[in-house]
Structure 1
């Protein structure tokens, strides 16, 4: 009798565990919407290279580094290494950083250093404007965090193609309901783990939509394959 019990435990428990984790993975196919109908980028902001930058129809990592460039330089490198280098090849993916006018030369110097680490920087966009215009635009999102005295913040946000804020809410972790609307660029670990996973989920979400419409995209296919492997 004990022999059959042991055999049952050995065979049944792994199946139950697999079904549990498979369900969790399925629930992570879509990244929750935190808020909708956000405002397009202001015409008051001018890009570093003079190109037109918009949020609409792009998956955007939006940030407000501020004017204290030396202090946030490491944060930008974290973003480049942990997020951009993984997903920058996706044609509708972009990094948009908005900061006070007068910091163009400092950002150009940072971009020169980025070029030693990244092959293609075309989806990195830095926009410049007056501090009060940045503050006004930032406040339209009603984020929980506020900008500091340098019109900056260490946090970045994920916006989808409809300009909706994406993040985490309602998922229970260790008995607590998780809520996340932003990611701390000071922490390379947080970008590497939580943020990278969430960007990956959002990319897969659009990949599934494309598959449903019987369209193909090689880069999205590659992302999906990487997700399955991990």
Structure 2
């Protein structure tokens, strides 16, 4: 009996595992779209000579305001737990959307941060407080910007300028943004979701270019 029991378990486990993952395929194949067509930032001033746009990029977007301490703490967590893992992926970008008055302090901070990070890859867009608020409002989330145009929550925007997130999160129901103050949330939920959207686009690329090796 023990022999048959062991054989039965060995036979049943792989089938059970296959059915579990197969049933979850549709749930995990794509990161849900929560808001379509967020406002682009192509008209904003930038920290480089090039235009910054959400189109054709997978973007991690932060509204970290004009208080440098918020930028330092939140950005450090985000960089170490998320960004440094993905800087080398094609079309991936980290975009800071800041009010114009933050320009000088932020430039100095970016230079200082180069000692411990790849801050040269950060893309920074500057607009008036009204312009920053308009872009943020287009995300249509339950979060708000404070008087410094800051929120600790960061967002994933896809190549079609759609806001991605979770529509069945176990803690929040709909998860629009990820709290950059919460290392565990970045390390677990956001890291998993960035992996999902990158895998989604890699799969689409392979389908469109079957001869491509990567």
The TM-score bracket by the shorter chain reads 0.7 to 0.9
Give the distance between the partners of 1:148 and 1:16, measured in 2 at CA. Answer: 49
How many Å apart are 1:99 and its aligned residue?
1.2
Give the secondary-structure state (helix, strand or coil) at the position aligned to 1:209. helix
**Equivalent position of 1:212 in the other structure:** 207
Counterpart in the other structure of 1:228: none
1:158-217 CA distance string (max 9 Å, x none): 11100011111146x4xx883211111111221121111111111111111111112577
Counterpart-to-counterpart distance in 1, 2:187 and 2:148? 26
Q: Is 1:98 aligned with 2:97? A: yes
Structure 1 residues 138-217: aligned runs within 5 Å: 138-170=136-168, 173=170, 178-214=173-209
User: Alpha carbons of 1:134 and 1:107: their partners in 2 closer, same or farther (altered >3 Å)?
Assistant: same
Are the structure 2 counterparts of residues 180 and 7 from structure 1 closer, same or farther at C-alpha, using a change threshold of 3 Å? same
Contact 1:59-1:161 within 8 A present in 2 as well: yes
Structure 1 residues 23 and 116, CA gap change in structure 2 (3 angstroms): farther
- The Cα offsets for residues 133-166 of structure 1, whole Å up to 9 and x where unpaired, read as 2112221222211111111100111111000111
The answer to whether the Cα contact below 8 Å between 2:57 and 2:92 also exists between their aligned partners in 1 is: yes
Q: Is the 8 A contact 1:56 1:162 kept in 2?
A: yes
Provide closer, same or farther for how the CA distance between residues 48 and 147 of structure 1 changes in structure 2, counting only shifts above 3 A: same
CA shift, 1:55, in A, is 1.0
Question: Map of 1:1-230 to 2, 5 A cutoff?
Answer: 1=1, 3-21=3-21, 23-24=23-24, 27-41=27-41, 43=43, 45-119=44-118, 121-122=120-121, 124-170=122-168, 173=170, 178-214=173-209, 221=214
Equivalent pair of 2:68/2:105 in contact (CA under 8 Å): yes
Q: 1:99 to 1:92 in 2, by over 3 A?
A: same
Deviations 1:67-105 (A, max 9, x none): 111133111111212222111112211111111112222
Please say if residues 80 and 114 of structure 1, whose CA atoms lie closer than 8 Å, have aligned partners that are also in contact: no
Once superposed, what is the RMSD of the aligned Cα atoms?
A: 2.4
For normalisation by structure 2, the TM-score amounts to 0.88
d(CA) in 1 for partners of 2:41, 2:17? 46
Segments of 5+ residues of structure 1 without an aligned counterpart are 222-230
TM-superposed deviation, 1:15: 3.4
Distance in 2 (CA, whole Å) between partners of 1:120 and 1:210 is 28
